[in-house]
Amino acid sequence: MSSEKIAVGQDAPQFHAAAYGKDSEIRLRDLHGKIVVLYFYPKDDTPGCTTEGQEFTALYPDFQAAGAEVLGVSRDSLASHEKFACKFNFPFPLLADTDEALCTAFDVLKEKNMYGKVSIGVERSTFVIDRQGKIAYVERKVKAAGHAAAILDIVKKLP
């Protein structure tokens, strides 16, 4: 699915993925009626990803009070997610997108160039899905610090 199809007002791509956390598998259809904050991050236990996860953790009770579920997604394995989540006490599920199906559906795999080495990596991105399963907000090229608070403000404005 191209990024043009991931736009506010469009139906969110349906997905199911293995998860570390509350359930062993998460299906978007099972979250119908809740707001879903789906945040994609590059790699477990790296500085920016840790900051982002810790900020979502600090605000998680507020997200829950607003009727939202937070889901983190990376291409890391369930074993890696378990270590990461336990190390920082993340209260929300981390989805293991080892086959890149979610990353592809939400068009977050981008070419990156670091020190002349070109690779394909996850562009830090967040999608807010409303209670009816429609995309309510999209943010790409996210800066980790302060992001969770900004997303919480958006979630609180949704019906």
Parallel, antiparallel, or unpaired for β 35-40 and 25-27?
unpaired
Model pLDDT for residues 72-99, shown as the tens digit of each residue:
999 999 999 999 999 999 999 999 999 9
Query: Residues with Cβ < 8 Å from 152, sequence gap 6 or more?
Result: 59, 62, 63, 66
pLDDT the model gives residue 21:
77
Model pLDDT for residues 39-74, shown as the tens digit of each residue:
999 999 999 999 999 999 999 999 999 999 999 999
Contact 39, 59 (CB under 8 A): no
**Mind listing the domains of the chain with CATH numbers?**
3-156 (3.40.30.10)
Over range 3-25, report the average pLDDT.
Answer: 84
Which pTM was predicted?
A: 0.93
What's the whole-number average pLDDT of the chain?
93
Q: Which residues are catalytic?
A: 49
3 pLDDT higher than 50? no
